[in-house]
Structure 1
Amino acid sequence: MLILGSLRQTVIGVLAVCLGSPGAAVAQNVFASTQSATLPTAAPSRAGDLHIEISHRFGYVSGGASDLWGLDGFVLNRLGLAYTPQDHVTIGVLRSNSLDNLEFNARFAGLRLDGATGPVEFAAQTGMAWNLQVEPDDSHAGHGHALAPRSSIYAGGRDDGTAADNEMQAYVQVIANTRVADRVALGVVPTLLWNPRIEDSDRETAVSVGATGQIYLSRMWSLFAEWIFSGSRKDQEYDSASFGVEIRTPGHFFKIVVTNQHRMNPTHTLAGAAEDFFDTNSWRLGFNIQRRLRL
């Protein structure tokens, strides 16, 4: 209860600050998109915006041509839908077929300051997730869309003793973005994560810090990278990292991703990865498609 009380106080405090300034809506955004590979950005949304996301993570790039560099096999999916009922406030739902992770979230953006090197934007996001799959592995009873690491028998499942009563997770994060030399966007995302490892009967609270950057080569093309610093825990010993290219068209963002993290929903990626990013055999291909519509 103390942890949940602290989470509520943090969310209320950041929400009050973010909604207290109307300046972000009329200024140029630091990041064009509201999301990097998995980390959120402080890019504001306008009332009536509808955000639709379809993302995939595939097999190992090291599989080579015989496996079509990881594309010729099973895939993990993520579907997202979010709506902005009023400026700077967005509510959404995410669904991943890794452990049937279902998340409801809220994002608050709107505070913008003029820094020495460029604009600085702030936002906050919070979410609650339930891992609804109760099988002891991530295979959905034979459907086999899980991508378990080569070096581990771990496939994303839970111990039998905790499957029924330890499926909920929650997080709250503050987002700070700035732009340098007009073409470089940088972001940091400190996060408080409750129950990072659902396989454990003890529900601990963990802290992770995400860092993201993007170089805008033109209005259409840009390069991005992100790194999530997280504590080491069983089957999640390594930091999640991603890099890739973003292609932007009106209302549309298409990202091609290379990553060591086969999962996508926040409560999974923030807790760590099962494989080392510095081992190129752990790299997987993925893509994110984001569509922004006006209602």
Structure 2
Amino acid sequence: MTKALLFLSVLSSVFAFAQEDLLKDIDTVQTSTDTSQPAFKALQIVTGQSTKLAAKKEWYMVVAHRFGDVSAGFKDFFGLDNASTKLGVIYGVTDAISLSLSRETNMKTFEGGIKYRLVKQNDSFPIDVVGYHVMGANTALDKDTYPHLRFSDRLSYLTQALISRRFSDKFSLQLTPSYVHKNLYEPTVEDKNQFLAGLGGRYKISKRISVNAEYFVNFDNHSFYKNPLSLGLDIETGGHIFQLLFTNSQINSDIGYLTNASGNWGKGHIFFGFNLYRVF
């Protein structure tokens, strides 16, 4: 009995020390700045892309939803009567390269994209640099409106450099220079070639919640459309990243979001929506 009590006493002491060390490790992870971690938890900051990529052989299912203009009030039930949905999949070819395919109900747009890491932030290099290219096809165009319509007229292209820095466990910032080319465009409201610069950030307010924001300036001087401005909330729930957001663009395809934002924040013409990611 004495030997048993002695053994239990020693075992309890070892367990207590191990538990204390484990708690110290957890505290260290929570308070330190680990540059190996991604600057953003989700693949998008709000609607624009972030420098995070899908891991090798990971599949992501994406559901993005934008309701109608909330300023319509009860008439359209604060936008619930008029919604646009995007469904997509993303596959990590390697840890540094991923492919995506999506389809949005607004303008019936298909988009295919490739995202790849050029440089990763580490102790000796201060930023992440990721390239992102998209080709979109607007299948809503028809020959009744455009009698000489060709397939190439449906196509548009996006090229972006995603440049981010993880300043701390809580705060990350990203700069996104962008270029858009449209084969078919209306010259009275936009240019064929458009250059934009975006700034986005993330601030973590709890273990599983962060607030995000992004803004893009379109240097197309006579554009009829507005500069996209979006605010969001990231919620981490196991294998899900759930993003709630307000934006002045109902379109959530990459190209449409950047070049066809129609809402005006100053007049309350904004759209509520969400992004849902499920990884497999």
Identify the TM-score tier after normalising by the shorter chain: 0.7 to 0.9
Q: State how 1:31-180 maps to structure 2 within 5 Å.
A: 31-65=40-74, 67-71=76-80, 73-109=81-117, 111-114=119-122, 119-135=126-142, 160=146, 163-164=149-150, 166-180=153-167
How many Å apart are 1:84 and its aligned residue? 0.7
**In terms of mean alpha carbon deviation, does 239-248 or 39-48 score higher?**
39-48
3-state SS, counterpart of residue 238 of structure 1:
coil
Report how far residue 133 of structure 1 moved.
1.0
Asked if the contact 1:196/1:271 (under 8 Å) is kept, the reply is: no
Distance 2:180 2:79 in 1: 31
Deviation of the 1:217 alpha carbon: 1.0
Report the RMSD for the aligned CA atoms in angstroms.
2.7
Counterpart AA for 1:243: L
Q: Name the amino acid aligned to 2:172.
A: A
User: How far does residue 75 in structure 1 lie from its aligned partner after superposition?
Assistant: 0.9
Q: CA deviation at 1:36?
A: 1.6
**Equivalent in 166, 171, 179 of residue 192 of structure 1:** 179
Aligned counterparts of 1:270 and 1:196: Cα–Cα separation in 2:
16
Counterpart CA distance in 1 for 2:184 and 2:276 is: 28
SS in 2 for 1:270: helix
Name the residue aligned to 2:24: none
Select 2:236's aligned residue among 225, 248, 251: 248
Which segments of 5 or more consecutive residues in structure 1 lack a partner in the other structure?
1-25, 137-157
**Corresponding residue number in structure 2 for 1:290:** 277
Distance 2:264 2:220 in 1: 12
The answer to whether the aligner puts 1:269 opposite 2:270 as a matched pair is no
Question: How many Å separate the matches in 2 of 1:163 and 1:276?
Answer: 32
Deviation at 1:115, TM superposition (A): 7.3
Question: Which 5+ residue runs of structure 2 have no aligned equivalent?
Answer: 1-34
Q: Based on CA coordinates, which of the two structures has the bigger radius of gyration? A: 2
* TM-score of the aligned structures, taking structure 2 as reference length: 0.78
**Distance in 1 (alpha carbons) for counterparts of 2:173 and 2:230:** 15
2:194 to 188, 203, 206: 206
Any idea what SS the aligned residue of 1:208 has? Answer: strand
1:110 to 1:231, Cα distance in 2 relative to 1, 3 A: closer
Contact 2:159–2:179 (CA under 8 A) maintained in structure 1:
yes
AA partner of residue 47 (structure 1): K
Q: Quick one: which amino acid aligns to residue 55 of structure 1?
A: A
The count of aligned residue pairs is 244
More helix by share: 2
Separation in structure 2 between the aligned mates of residue 126 and residue 192 of structure 1, nearest angstrom = 10
- 1:68 Cα deviation (Å)? 3.5
Structure 1 counterpart SS, 2:256: helix
Q: Percent identity?
A: 20
Encode CA deviations 1:220-276: one digit per residue, 9 max, x unaligned. Answer: 111111111113477743101110211111221111111110101111112142232
Residues 41-96 of structure 1 show CA distances to partners (whole Å, capped at 9, x for unaligned) of 1113321111111011111222335543222x021110110101222110110111
The alpha carbon displacement at 1:278 in A equals 2.6
Distance 1:205 1:171 in 2: 10
Residue identity matched to 1:188? L
Tell me the CA shift for residue 196 of structure 1: 7.7
CA distance in 2, matches of 1:197, 1:227: 25
Paired amino acid for 1:250: G
